Structure 1
Amino acid sequence: MTTTLGLDIGGSKTMAVRAEGGVAVAEARAGSANVASVGVHEAGRQLDAILERVGAYGVKAVCAGAAGADTPEGCARLRDLLAERLPDAMIRVVHDSELVLAAAGVDDGVALISGTGSVAWGRHDGRTARAGGWGYLLGDQGSGYAMARAAVCRALAAVDRGEPADRLGRAMAAECGLRSTEQLLDHFYNHTDRRYWARRASVVVELAEAGDSAGRAIVEEAVADLADLVGTVADRLSCRGPVIVAGGMAVNQPLVHNELRRTLAARGIDDMRVLDADPVHGALRLAAQLLDRDAVALSG
Structure 2
Amino acid sequence: MTPPDDALAHEGLVVGMDVGGTKAAVRATTADGTLVADVVMSSAEWDAEPADAAAGWLVEVLGRALPAGASIGALVIGAQGLDNPEVAHDLEAALRSRGHGRVRCVNDAALLVPAAGLDAGLGLIAGTGAIGVAVDPSGAALVTGGWGWVIGDEAGGAGLVREATKAALLAHDDGEPDDGLLGALLADFGVTDAERLARAVNDDPTMASWAPHAPAVFRAADEGSALAADVIRAGAEHLVRLVDQLRRRGAVGDAVVAAGGVITAQPRLADAVRELLAQRHPDLRFIVLHEPPVAGAWFLASRL
Task: Measure how far apart 1:161 and its partner are.
Answer: 3.8
Structure 1 residues 1-300: aligned runs within 5 Å:
3-23=13-33, 24-32=35-43, 34-36=46-48, 40-41=52-53, 44-45=56-57, 47-55=59-67, 57-87=70-100, 89-123=101-135, 125-127=137-139, 128-237=141-250, 239=252, 241-267=254-280, 268-290=282-304
Could you tell me the TM-score, scaled by structure 2's length?
A: 0.84
Distance 2:32 2:278 in 1: 36
The answer as to whether partners of 2:48 and 2:54 remain within 8 angstroms in 1 is no
Task: Measure how far apart 1:118 and its partner are.
Answer: 0.3
Q: Which amino acid aligns with 1:138?
A: I
Task: Classify 1:165/1:235 alpha carbon distance in 2 versus 1 (closer, same or farther; 3 Å).
Answer: same
Task: Classify 1:269/1:256 alpha carbon distance in 2 versus 1 (closer, same or farther; 3 Å).
Answer: farther
Range moving further from structure 2, 278-287 or 69-78: 69-78
Distance 1:106 1:126 in 2: 17
Cα-to-partner distance string for 1:256-286 (whole Å, 9 max, x where unaligned): 1112111111112451112122111211121
Cα-to-partner distance string for 1:85-118 (whole Å, 9 max, x where unaligned): 434x311111111111121121111111111110
The answer as to whether partners of 1:31 and 1:46 remain within 8 angstroms in 2 is no
Distance 1:52 1:195 in 2: 23
Range moving further from structure 2, 232-241 or 171-180: 232-241
The answer as to whether partners of 1:11 and 1:37 remain within 8 angstroms in 2 is no
The answer as to whether partners of 2:18 and 2:108 remain within 8 angstroms in 1 is yes
Identity percentage over the alignment?
A: 30
> Aligned pairs, how many?
289
Range moving further from structure 2, 142-151 or 191-200: 191-200
Q: For structure 2, which runs of at least 5 residues remain unmatched after alignment?
A: 1-10
Q: Which amino acid aligns with 2:121?
A: G
Task: Measure how far apart 1:159 and its partner are.
Answer: 4.4
Give secondary structure in 1 for the equivalent of 2:198: helix
Q: Which amino acid aligns with 1:170?
A: G
Task: Measure how far apart 1:238 and its partner are.
Answer: 5.6
